[in-house]
Amino acid sequence: MGDITRNFSKSEFECKCGCEMPDGVRENIQDLAEELQTLRDYIGSPISINSAYRCLKHNRRIGSNNHSQHTKGKAADIRVNDFSPDEVVGVVEDMLKNPTLPSLSIGGIGRYNTFTHLDIRDGSARWDKR
């Protein structure tokens, strides 16, 4: 798995500790990358991935919990050129609600000061950590 979509490569989604990504996680990463590609195509601006898949050990080291969507390969913390984290959330929420816009399958949205958390969990979750 090299390039997984037109604008995203596998390396952008790998754990920062350098461990090998499990097979089950790769499938989730593919689905996540496709959702992020849909977002990128709609907004027409590059997306930088701060963090995506995290093994349990790395996830604990950075202070996150064991139930994080990152450990399943279902989450990414992103920054979008020329968009604030609030603007990214606004666009994603619009895409989720407006049937005339491209369809997204984003379940979790987290607001942070310098990035936006998006994940493909089943169900809806929203939080604000600004």
Instruction: Give the integer Cα–Cα distance in Å for 32 and 56.
Output: 19
pTM, whole model, 2 decimals? Answer: 0.94
Burial string for 114-126 (b: 16+ CB within 10 Å, else e) reads ebbbbbbeeeeee
Instruction: Give the integer Cα–Cα distance in Å for 48 and 8.
Output: 9
Tens digits of residue pLDDT in 2-53: 589 999 999 999 999 999 999 889 999 999 999 999 999 999 999 999 999 9
Residue ranges per structural domain of the chain: 10-128
Architecture of domain 10-128: 2-Layer Sandwich (3.30)
